[in-house]
Amino acid sequence: MAINKAKTSLWMKGFIIFLIVAFVVTIGAASIPSIFQLFAPQPGTQTATQQAAAPTVEQTNAQFKPGVDALAAALASDPTSYTAAVNLGNAYFDWAQTLSTPAQGASQASTAALAATVPLWLASKDAYAKAVKIKPGDPGVQTDFAIVTFYSGDTTAAIALGEGVTTRQPDFAQAWLNLGIFYAGSGQIDKSISAFERYVKLDPKGANVAFAQDQIKALQAAKTTP
């Protein structure tokens, strides 16, 4: 999956939806398609009523805040709870990605919505950091940690986390897909191509194979562009 939470145990998941944000990686003259655009709703496919019903930032915040507050309280009461830490990381992740999703019929999320995600990505990163400190080794949680680290603005650390997953579990396809994105974000074209190719090999029937193949083509084109 292109920058979406890796599959972890269902009992740890609240909401699993794809991230859709206005991030675009550009290398040379070739623009790498946004890692979120793949899952974005297509403009013009929603009715005016549906578009008007799209939740506001305030409504989204009201939806997620009570649950996040409850999870934060649970973790505060038991700082050694791995489940509470992971669920809190998931909840902040879902809150941020919901805000990052364009309103129905829109091509990108609003500036206000994107600005509101910044502290949520950081909070998610902090929660996952606590989780992996309590119990390291879960590749799904480690991959989610890498994703929120990337969205928190630290590509170098995200790469290190992703590489840690692939070193320990080289057949964990999700980590390779995300590493392809992280490498592209840092301008490491050859490594990005290799990571995407590894993902396709490991998950040839995966939902994101077409996306990975498109990235490979775009990156290869970027290498040959004067």
Query: Is 3 contained in some domain?
Result: no
Q: Kindly state whether residue 1 falls inside one of the protein's structural domains.
A: no
Q: How far apart are CA 94 and CA 73, in angstroms?
A: 18
pTM, full prediction: 0.77
Any idea what the CATH number is for the domain that residue 192 is in?
1.25.40.10
Report yes or no on 191 lying in a domain: yes
Query: If we measure between CA atoms, which residue out of 96, 130, 102 comes closest to residue 115?
Result: 96
Q: Check residues 152 and 15 and name the one with the higher pLDDT.
A: 152
Note the pLDDT of residue 32: 30
Domain count, the chain: 1
Asked if residue 2 is part of any domain, the answer here is: no
Q: Which domain holds residue 55?
A: 10-224
Q: Is residue 33 part of a domain?
A: yes
Alpha helices in 186-208 (DSSP H): 189-202
The pLDDT tens digits of the residues spanning 97-143 come to 888 887 766 777 788 888 889 999 999 999 999 999 999 989 999 99
Look at residue 5 and tell me if it is in a domain: no
C-alpha dihedral, 33 to 174 to 152 to 10, nearest 10°: 120
